[in-house]
Structure 1
């Protein structure tokens, strides 16, 4: 069954060739350099096709984490702590070298396709019967991975009007 799971993603990569990717980032904590404090930042570590709950790279499959848009740091008043934290993540991405407004994926996790093929789950992926499946939301059930990938690739290649 390993072949079936890996074959699904190999086929997906072939269909994704030429479509837009989004960048992956890794959080770097604040540190001191020569006694001068350096703010935390998010640095680029790669690119992936964003397919819903999955990120597909050239050689791996990842579970999505947080998604932010890089923004210049500005002082603002926030009604909620969560807004302040989000703004800090956005500024960290900008400090790390991402362009203003660029989408950045952080907190993603690698998935183990071999484990899925053995009947174990890995993040949102699992084997149900003999069918590789994906849980597309925490409240939702599983659906066949093959259909999920086909739908997400179609949406990436032909986004609905007004989608950005």
Structure 2
């Protein structure tokens, strides 16, 4: 008998118990203070275990998005606009309360396990031939979620 999606996620949580988690962040809307706008911030909203293309929380599962390390803002020279944008995000996370060097997950999406169980797709999770599966790479590779979790968790 094939394990259900909730069973697979609960088994993964049990295997991950005691392992360090990483924090999730979202961009906070800037409030004006004395008429001046505040610099953008990324604030913590939860934590999860990073398992490949998934972020497994205590009671929810998310698709990974961007990953960065918080760092204090400093004047630096950049050769590319992408470097500057990434540094601005890292500084926003530091301003939002993340520690220097802490890993921050941004632009993640909550996965709807009920939609997957009903035969649909949510983020990288889907049902394929009544087996919970995961799209695990950009080329669209699909494999059973049980095998994927076993592989990912054996790397810890």
Task: Identify the TM-score tier after normalising by the shorter chain.
Answer: over 0.9
Residues matched between the structures, number = 155
Moved over 4 A (4+): none
> Residues 42-91 of structure 1, C-alpha deviation per residue, up to 9 Å, x if partnerless?
00111100001100000000000100000110111111111110000000
1:29/1:39 contact within 8 Å kept:
no
1:138 Cα offset (Å):
1.8
> TM-score by structure 2 length?
0.95
Partner of 1:90: 90
1:154 Cα offset (Å):
1.8
The CA RMSD measured in Å over matched residues stands at 1.4
Q: How does 1:119-130 map to 2 (within 5 A)?
A: 119-130=119-130
Partner of 2:101: 101
Question: Unaligned 5+ residue runs, structure 2?
Answer: none
> Residues 23-42 of structure 1, C-alpha deviation per residue, up to 9 Å, x if partnerless?
11111133312223210000
1:100 Cα offset (Å):
0.5
Question: Unaligned 5+ residue runs, structure 1?
Answer: 158-164
Q: How does 1:134-145 map to 2 (within 5 A)?
A: 134-145=134-145
CA–CA separation in structure 2 for the residues paired with 1:115 and 1:126: 9
